[in-house]
Amino acid sequence: MSPVHPPAWPWLRKTLRGECDSARLVDRDFFAHESFQISRRESRLSQPLDGRYRPSHRVRIRYLAHRAANPHGPTRSLGEKLKLIARRIAAVVALIVLGFVLLTWWALESSSVAVLETQSADDGVRSTHVWYAEPDGELWIEAGTPGNGWYVDVQQDPMVSFSSPERSGEYVAQPIPGDEAHLRIRGLLREKYGFRDWWIGVLFDTSQSVAVRMVLQSSNSPPTGR
């Protein structure tokens, strides 16, 4: 008989002394196999009056032979193995997707995010979370693309409401097209947001972004330069 796999020895010693309960002794693969079925008589002999599970010698020998033939645990069919692999792959993919979503949310929303309110074409108020930079006390924001909803709004009505942890008030949004302004706002945001800006740049194309300078009209809090 082949030697039993070492990790099974402590359990098997307890089994031979009759110290294991039925839930630990009976495993699915062992008693599901036709050649290891025990008779009703053996089953009755294995249940003494004191309630302790003491398997008969024949059952112990069969179990030892089964563990020796399958030292690494229950054997699985090809279909079961494929299902197990598929479940593991699905779990890994789900974890990757969850990590991707959480990282993107952290990059966009974790800190230094302002709320910009614009007047939309249907006379409603559009609320948008935006990044901002404050060089020399000024206030600049960026439209990721010329088609951004809030950027279309300010071209029709430049009066906006801006609120951030540092300042809030009513502003006039002045788009500054051109490569020079684009490079400036890109540099300011990259310096301020660091890895977060890099990650968003990986996900979204910022090559067509437009810089917008904010001109204060009325303030609800004093501006703070950086």
- Summarised one tens digit per residue, pLDDT across range 104-130 is 999 999 888 999 999 988 888 999 999
Question: How many Å separate Cα 31 from the centre of its chain?
Answer: 40
Q: Is residue 142 part of a domain?
A: yes
My answer on whether 28 and 91 are in the same domain is no
My answer on whether 116 and 198 are in the same domain is yes
My answer on whether 97 and 52 are in the same domain is no
Mean pLDDT of 3-15: 46
Per-state percent for the chain, helix, strand, coil, to nearest 5? 50, 20, 35
My answer on whether 156 and 121 are in the same domain is yes
Per-residue pLDDT for 2 more than 60?
no
My answer on whether 159 and 209 are in the same domain is yes
The amino acid present at 36, given as its one-letter code, is F
pLDDT at 78: 79
Output b/e per residue, 10-19; b: 16+ Cβ within 10 A.
eebeebeeee
| Phi and psi angles of residue 128, each rounded to the nearest 5 degrees, phi first | -135, 140
Name the domain boundary from 69, 96, 124: 69
Name the domain boundary from 85, 108, 131: 108
My answer on whether 85 and 119 are in the same domain is no
Give the structural domain span for 139: 111-219
Q: Is residue 226 part of a domain?
A: no
My answer on whether 24 and 65 are in the same domain is yes
pLDDT at 7: 43
Name which of 49-63, 112-126, 169-183, 202-216 the model is least confident about.
49-63
Among 139, 160, 140, smallest CA distance to 150 is for: 160
Contacts of 18 (CB under 8 A, 6+ apart): 52, 53, 54, 55
| Phi and psi angles of residue 203, each rounded to the nearest 5 degrees, phi first | -85, -35
Among 89, 194, 75, 188, smallest CA distance to 139 is for: 188
Where is 150: in which H helix or E strand?
helix 149-156
pLDDT at 79: 82
Where is 217: in which H helix or E strand?
strand 210-219
My answer on whether 22 and 54 are in the same domain is yes
pLDDT at 29: 47
pLDDT at 72: 61
Which of residues 138 and 48 earns the better pLDDT score?
A: 138
Euclidean distance between CA atoms 181 and 174, whole angstroms? 12
My answer on whether 134 and 189 are in the same domain is yes
Against a cut of 0.85, is the pTM above it? Answer: no
Contacts of 60 (CB under 8 A, 6+ apart): 15, 16
My answer on whether 22 and 64 are in the same domain is yes
